[in-house]
Amino acid sequence: MRSAEFSEIDRRLLNDFQQEFPLSPTPYADIARALGVSEDEVIAALARLQARGAVSRVGAVVRPNTVGASTLAAMSVPPAEIERVAALVSGFPEVNHNYEREHALNLWFVASAPEADRLRAVLDDIAARTGYEVLAFPLVEDYHIDLGFDLRI
């Protein structure tokens, strides 16, 4: 997407609120005040951005395994099947994101669930539905990586 395709509100939402999202009972109203627009405009802009694929979700990021259970997982999927399998994996609400890598294990994803038993059931269900083994790589040591980017769009 090109910069011209985004309104000023879109650009500010995408750039200015990656971190320091207001932790209050009225975060969208707080953002609206900072942008000089209405809360309804903020909510509508976020919905448009999500519909366009520029925003996948608005929500907190918490340290892995402090609330529920999560794991990095990988699969070895034949290239001809990768799009079908990736779409199926993405269809699980427990899957945060998935991506293809150039490796024998070529489809990677992060899955989360309220408890470890449910997480294992989700991974088993993915394996059963796709016909491909799912390898889980649980977190051993965590590192904080700031995923905020100055988009300058």
Quickly list DSSP for the chain: --GGGS-HHHHHHHHHTSSS---SS-HHHHHHHHHTS-HHHHHHHHHHHHHHTS-S-------TTSSSEEEEEEE---GGGHHHHHHHHHTSTTEEEEEE-SSSS-EEEEEEESSHHHHHHHHHHHHHHHSS--EEE--SS------------
CA 103 to chain centre: 22
6 confidence band (pLDDT: 50, 70, 90)? confident
Q: Residues with Cβ < 8 Å from 2, sequence gap 6 or more?
A: none
Condensed to tens digits (0 to 9), the pLDDT of residues 109-130 reads: 999 999 999 999 999 999 999 9
Give the residue-averaged pLDDT of 85-95.
Answer: 95
- One domain, residues 48 and 73: no
Q: Which two tokens stand for residue 2?
A: 């090109």
Q: Residues with Cβ < 8 Å from 146, sequence gap 6 or more?
A: 19
Q: Which two tokens stand for residue 100?
A: 């293809």
Number of domains observed in the structure of the chain: 2
Q: What mean pLDDT value characterizes the chain?
A: 88
Residue 24 lies in a domain: yes
Residue 59 lies in a domain: no
- One domain, residues 131 and 73: yes
- One domain, residues 73 and 122: yes
- One domain, residues 76 and 46: no
Q: Residues with Cβ < 8 Å from 84, sequence gap 6 or more?
A: none
Q: Which residue has the tokens 């995408």?
A: 14
- One domain, residues 73 and 133: yes
- One domain, residues 86 and 130: yes
Residue 96 lies in a domain: yes
- One domain, residues 9 and 43: yes
Q: Count CA within 13 A, CB hemisphere, residue 63.
A: 6
Give the residue-averaged pLDDT of 23-45.
Answer: 95
Give the residue-averaged pLDDT of 70-83.
Answer: 96
Provide the whole-model pTM.
0.62
Residue 60 lies in a domain: no
Domain span at residue 41 reads: 3-52
Residue 9 lies in a domain: yes
